[in-house]
Amino acid sequence: MAKSFNTVIIGGGCLGCACAFSISRKLGRQPNKVAVIEKQVLGAGLSSRHSAIVRSANASVMAARMAKNAVQEWKALSTLWGVDIPFEQPGAIWIANSHKTNGTSQWQQLKNSMQNEGITFQMIARKEVTDLCNDAIRVDPDEIYFHEPDVLQLDSSEILNGLQNAAKVNQVEIMEHCQVFDFERDNQGNIIALLTNQGKIVCENVVNAMGGWSPDLFAAIGIQIPVALEPVFAANFLVSSQEIPGALPIIADFVNRAYFRRWRGSILHMHQPRSRSGNAIARCFSKAMMNPDGANVIYDASSFSVNHQQLEHYLKKLEQRFPKLGKAVYAGGYQSFFDITPDLKFILGKDNAVANLFHCLGAGQALKYAPVFGELIAEMVTKGTTRYPDIDISEFSLARFYDKPISEFWETSTDNRDSL
């Protein structure tokens, strides 16, 4: 007989799990109510390829508000998920070029809007940067610096461990190596069952948390989900605590276009941010045709190797910002992608055509929001009361892409403040 659940979540990444835990908690944490279907294993997608930073500053006020709530939820996670996940609070320093046209005013605006939201994000002097970083980074009179102290650093393997434990606590059934390949629908178009390689799964509600894989599956039932893949390379370098202090704040370096963080004792981890220029976003969408494997490229063993050109490119950025380091010792890396939307905003909420379908997609920067997104989707699915009365997710609806041609989204997008 087919298995049957109140809600099935497709995709076992951090967002799918977060939705499952919150929905299950709201339904009383009973067995056979909520299932996560994952075609590989939990966290096999982007959720094992991130830098585990949780911070709030964002050009979208609503995204910043959600992130501010998320920082607090991560700190006391057992309230929502029944488990805690360890974290550190190194804070972050944002570095911008003061000479770039409009650069300074954009950053000042960001500072003001964050202050209105009660998020500490303040301009600091070069001396303060030097002190916070124990003299490890280069500072320059052409640069401006902002400090965001309430920024958390988690560890991706601790998060994956936490997801597995929380699945048990919340009585969520995890179906791994189970791939959804089609849907069964009723006369009104609602989804009544998922067709998978492990048989039919009957359900009352479906949450799409497939990230970069979403367009593929939903195209078959006429739902267009504009998500493209922007390639990115992440690298680890071996450093000593004499060169770079273990307690280095996270460095969000928009001059060299790189994020740096210290973790696991001896590692300096880095990757580049998402591109914010409209042209670059458009190019990612055009490349989809040239990548027949789509998001599956992430499973390929070769994605754990990097070429010399990429490495040289990163080493230069490293030398620029950490002059004491000299030529750093490469200690492994991987290729990954950001699952981006045309306006780099999330896709959240109810589908406008299929009444029992909900979307929860992250636009390349979503781990940090996971507890809040999970709660918001759970409130919609269970029609429960809201934990965040001042959050309005209408700007993140999938329907926004149906109102105008997709190309119009990237014509306007040149801002670079909210990448991660």
Ligand X SMILES: Cc1cc2nc3c(=O)[nH]c(=O)nc-3n(C[C@H](O)[C@H](O)[C@H](O)COP(=O)(O)OP(=O)(O)OC[C@H]3O[C@@H](n4cnc5c(N)ncnc54)[C@H](O)[C@@H]3O)c2cc1C
Q: In b/e form, how buried is each residue of 264-296, taking b as 16+ CB within 10 angstroms?
A: eebbbbbbbbbbbebeebbebbeeeeeeeebbe
Our CA angle for 38, 50, 398, nearest 5°, is 60
Determine the Cα–Cα distance for residues 47 and 52; give it in Å rounded to an integer: 9
Closest CB to ligand X among 49 and 321? 49
- How many residues touch ligand X under the rule CB under 6 A: the total is 41
CB-based contact 263:86 (threshold 8 Å): no
The H-or-E segment that residue 336 falls in is strand 329-340
**Min. distance of Cβ 191 from ligand X in angstroms?**
14
Closest CB to ligand X among 16 and 342? 16
Determine the Cα–Cα distance for residues 319 and 127; give it in Å rounded to an integer: 20
CB-based contact 224:401 (threshold 8 Å): yes
**Min. distance of Cβ 334 from ligand X in angstroms?**
8
Closest CB to ligand X among 123 and 331? 331
**Considering the rule CB under 6 A, would residue 93 count as an interface residue with ligand X?**
no
Near ligand X by CB under 6 A: residue from 22, 51, 69, 113: 51
**Considering the rule CB under 6 A, would residue 26 count as an interface residue with ligand X?**
no
Site string for ligand X, 132-171 (x = CB under 6 A): ----------------------------------------
Closest CB to ligand X among 14 and 57? 14
* Residues 321-340 contacting ligand X, CB under 6 A: 336, 338
Closest CB to ligand X among 114 and 139? 114
Q: Tell me if residue 290 falls in helix, strand or coil.
A: helix
CA dist list (Å): 288 to 229, 230, 250, 282, 296: 7, 10, 32, 11, 12
* Piece in contact with ligand X (CB under 6 A), picked from 9-17, 238-246, 312-320, 383-391: 9-17
Determine the Cα–Cα distance for residues 18 and 35; give it in Å rounded to an integer: 12
Near ligand X by CB under 6 A: residue from 34, 37, 223, 244: 37
**Min. distance of Cβ 284 from ligand X in angstroms?**
13
**Min. distance of Cβ 242 from ligand X in angstroms?**
26
Q: Tell me if residue 380 falls in helix, strand or coil.
A: helix
Backbone phi and psi for residue 354, each to the nearest 5 degrees, phi listed first = -105, 110
Strands (E), 149-284: 152-153, 173-175, 180-185, 191-196, 199-208, 228-238, 250-253, 258-263, 267-271
Near ligand X by CB under 6 A: residue from 13, 91, 333, 371: 13
Site string for ligand X, 228-247 (x = CB under 6 A): ----x-x-------------
Q: Tell me if residue 87 falls in helix, strand or coil.
A: coil
Task: Give the residue nearest to ligand X (CB).
Answer: 13
* Piece in contact with ligand X (CB under 6 A), picked from 4-12, 286-294, 306-314, 398-406: 4-12
**Min. distance of Cβ 291 from ligand X in angstroms?**
15
**Which is nearest to 164 in space by CA: 173, 177, 152, 155?**
173
Our CA angle for 200, 204, 207, nearest 5°, is 85
Near ligand X by CB under 6 A: residue from 139, 367, 376, 378: 367
**Considering the rule CB under 6 A, would residue 24 count as an interface residue with ligand X?**
no
Q: Which amino acid is at 186?
A: D
**Considering the rule CB under 6 A, would residue 15 count as an interface residue with ligand X?**
yes
CB-based contact 420:252 (threshold 8 Å): yes
**Considering the rule CB under 6 A, would residue 209 count as an interface residue with ligand X?**
yes
* Piece in contact with ligand X (CB under 6 A), picked from 20-28, 45-53, 121-129, 402-410: 45-53
**Min. distance of Cβ 96 from ligand X in angstroms?**
19
**Min. distance of Cβ 87 from ligand X in angstroms?**
12
CA dist list (Å): 73 to 70, 87, 287, 404: 5, 12, 37, 36
DSSP string, 131-144: HHTTT-S---TTEE
* Residues 346-365 contacting ligand X, CB under 6 A: 361-362, 364-365
Near ligand X by CB under 6 A: residue from 7, 27, 45, 69: 45
Q: Which residues bind ligand X (CB under 6 A)?
A: 10-16, 37-40, 44-47, 49-53, 179-180, 209-213, 217, 232, 234, 271, 336, 338, 361-362, 364-368, 420
